Structure 1
Amino acid sequence: MSDRKKDHINLALNARTDKSEADTRFYYEPLLAAHHKGEFEPFSFAGKEMRLPVWVSSMTGGTQGAGNINRNLAQACGEFGMGMGLGSCRTLLESDKYMADFDIRKYMGNEVPLYVNLGIAQIEKLVAKKEEEKAEQLAGKLDADGLIIHVNPLQEAFQPEGDSINVPPVETIMAFIQNTSLRVIVKEVGQGMGPESLRQLMELPIEAIEFGALGGTNFTKLELMRRKNKLSSHFASFGNIGHTATEMTEFVNKIAEKYPVKCRQIIISGGISNVIDGYYLTRISKVKSVFGMASAFLEHAGYDYSTLKEFVEQLKNGLGVAMQYLVSKENPNH
């Protein structure tokens, strides 16, 4: 206790809060609850059961080190009750060389959701050739619960090796789901989606939408950085185009109130780097939602499992504190 009091005296001046930095999104209610006990109520999402409203967003493909990262992430999902989307599985359509990097169901158990991942350009080709069953076979090999289709027209446009998208992605998605029994999640890859794209997706019988909003890792910027041609500087401003997770949550709320939507599950991702932001957006969402993170997990998943476990425990504890004491001003009854 003596050491703690000394710390308080020594740190007090540096712990002052600037009123201009106050987070005004919440009512803070310190009298109405005890500390969280650490157990979260299970809930259904994406076809399985989760305990934490946190999604491990797609990040690693078949590259060196991906196997260890995916195994660590899968173990954390099983232990803490999170869902997970694999990184692009395109390479597995052509070869089983990297199969071991993606074969992670045994590390996470069967209770939580796991989704494989293919790009819209690959889905377009499968639909054109009437080979939708290849996506089903891929999901079957990995004992996955469904397929994430990542929609990335700007990334493909600026990627030196990019694929041409010849059909509007929503038409490809509609054609695909008509010929498959797979659960389908559709996501962007760092720039989010506008209200009309969201409306048309929400009117389809898909499992969920993942935002991939502006503010996190931006694959258009990444591809522009890979270009050696100095003329690429003329395209740099495209990396700043898109919609934030907050903006997209507002779009979804308006769409859900106004239109007869079939998809009522969202993964709020893109620039979610802390518990408070994720908690706030799930609280103001008017459809069932979890929040997704990629870079924050990746930062801790490349080491031994104990490093990642400590990070997820901090997420869990932070969520518990938020749930007990923070009430969204925008949606106080949620």
Structure 2
Amino acid sequence: MPDSTPTSSRKADHIRINLEEDVQSGLTTGLERYRFVHEALPEIDFEQIDCSVSVFGRRLNAPVLISSMTGGTDRAGMINRVLAEAAQQCRVAMGVGSQRAALEHSELRSSFQVRPYAPDTLLLANLGAVQLNYGYTVDDCKRAVEMIEADALILHLNSMQEAIQPEGDTRFAGLARKIEEVCRELTVPVVVKEVGWGISKRTARLLAEAGVAAIDVAGAGGTSWTQVEMYRLPTERQRRVAAAFRQWGIPTSESIAMVRQAAPDVLVFASGGLRDGVDIAKCIALGATLGGMAGPFLKAADRSVEEVVGTIEEVSREIRICMFGVGAVSLRALKETPLLREGKA
């Protein structure tokens, strides 16, 4: 499979940089400021705890999403297959990276086509929303979904990343109306996802009005894509511009609260700097339905399926232990669990 197209070359750079460089946001997720109220007498048995959830018609064993990462190169295809096998074994959700390269170069499709490895779990297709302003249509969105037999389509928003890229696509005017058209015409649910800077109240309202089924906040606190792009920039001046935005964005915990308030009828997926099951449990208690992680799974996938399965099982057990510690037998009960914020009674 050739890695020579501009988009594929960029994706190969992204994998290498994420695995080898420090691309952490200068902000934290804000989740560290929250703690659960421990119940010494939980009045439930650990074996009773059920952390399964249904999303878009698929039953998941845990509220875990392997967040969209990659595709379009040989290495990316291998990583996606490893992630898909692990997602199937553990029955958790998975999103693929942007499929733009595969829509433009059919020989790259196989790096995204993981449904044979994950026949029973929630699989999310992915395109950059801004491409709707560069000639992409509803039919292209349908092709992305059909390509991987997806249960839903992610349209990702990455305005800051595009602004930093020398080759970036920065025409974002009128995009809400085009997202609305995709939501109206597509036969599967549409998820709109940030990539690491969070979703504000204003944006959440626009997306709710457009008809999206879910919003993935992808808040600040994890990977900063301005920092990823910084390592690709050719001049010191360009790198200084990228470095200036290390602390840009809405922390994940704040973004969850904003979206829940502005779009109460839209599902919330939480991602952006989540590192373990305790973080995911906190996000569920704040109102999210799923918690997404990328970095920990990418590093595990670079080793083996077993490493990814082990990571998922570790995260899932941490979620269940959190639920036990607060006396929540189900995710619904966890959502009703009080969280204490540091400095507040």
Aligned to 1:249: 256
* Aligned residue in 1 for 2:216: 210
Query: Where do 1:104-123 residues align within 5 Å?
Result: 104-110=114-120, 112-123=121-132
Counterpart CA distance in 2 for 1:290 and 1:277 is 11
Distance 2:96 2:135 in 1: 19
Q: Which has the higher contact order (CA 8 A, sep 6+)?
A: 2
The alpha carbon displacement at 1:124 in A equals: 2.4
Partner of 2:193: 187
- What number of residue pairs does the alignment pair up? 302
Aligned to 1:59: 69
Structure 2 runs not aligned, ≥5 long:
1-31, 329-333, 340-345
How do residues 73-92 of structure 1 correspond to structure 2 at under 5 angstroms?
Answer: 73-92=83-102
* Residue 231 (structure 1) aligns with: 237
Change in Cα spacing, 1:161 to 1:203, as seen in structure 2 (3 Å) is: same
Q: Per-residue CA shift, 1:140-196, capped at 9, x if unaligned?
A: 121111211111111111102212315243233123323333321101111112221
- Give the match for residue 268 of structure 2: 266
Paired AA for residue 107 in structure 1: Y
**1: CA distance between counterparts of 2:335 and 2:148?**
41
Pick the structure with greater CA Rg: 1
Distance 1:36 1:97 in 2: 49
For residue 309 of structure 2, what is the amino acid of its counterpart? K
Partner of 2:138: 132
**Alpha-carbon distance, 1:28 to partner:** 1.3
Q: CA deviation at 1:82?
A: 0.9
Task: Note closer, same or farther for the CA distance 1:146–1:76 as it changes in structure 2 (3 Å cut).
Answer: same
Contact 1:38 1:320 in 2 (8 A): no
TM-score, with structure 1 as normaliser: 0.83
Alpha-carbon offset, residue 270 of structure 1: 0.1
Q: State the Cα distance separating 1:87 from its structure 2 match.
A: 0.6
Residues in 1 aligned to 2:97 and 2:242: alpha-carbon distance in whole angstroms: 26
Is 1:302 matched with 2:302?
Answer: yes
Look up the SS of the partner of 1:192 in the other structure. coil
How many angstroms does 1:81 deviate by? 1.8
Q: Distance in 2 between matches of 1:24 and 1:249?
A: 13
Q: Is the 8 A contact 1:159 1:223 kept in 2?
A: yes
> 1:77-125: per-residue Cα shift (whole Å, max 9, x none)?
2222211110111111112222221111111123x21111111222223
CA contact (8 A) 1:126 1:132 kept: no
Match of 2:176 in 1: 170
Alpha-carbon distance in structure 1 between the residues aligned to 2:97 and 2:177: 23
User: Is the 8 Å Cα contact of residues 187 and 212 (structure 1) preserved in structure 2?
Assistant: yes
The counterpart of 1:332, out of the listed 327, 333, 337, is: 337
Q: How far off is 1:331 after superposition?
A: 4.6
Report the CA distance shift for 1:44/1:237 in structure 2 as closer, same or farther (over 3 A).
Answer: same
Amino acid at match of 1:316: S
Q: In the TM superposition, what is the alpha-carbon distance from 1:203 to its structure 2 partner? A: 3.1
Maintained 8 Å contact 2:42/2:327: no
**Which residue number corresponds to residue 220 of structure 1?**
226
Cα distance in structure 1, aligned partners of 2:51 and 2:126: 28
**Correspondence for 2:58:** 48
TM-score (norm 2): 0.80
On the 8 A contact 1:54/1:292 being kept in 2, the answer is yes
The Cα offsets for residues 217-242 of structure 1, whole Å up to 9 and x where unpaired, read as 11122112321222221442223211
Task: Give the root-mean-square deviation of aligned CA atoms.
Answer: 2.5
Contact 2:155 2:190 in 1 (8 A): yes
Which residue of 2 is the match for residue 147 of structure 1? 153
CA change 1:206–1:324 in 2 (3 A) is same
How far does residue 126 in structure 1 lie from its aligned partner after superposition?
4.0
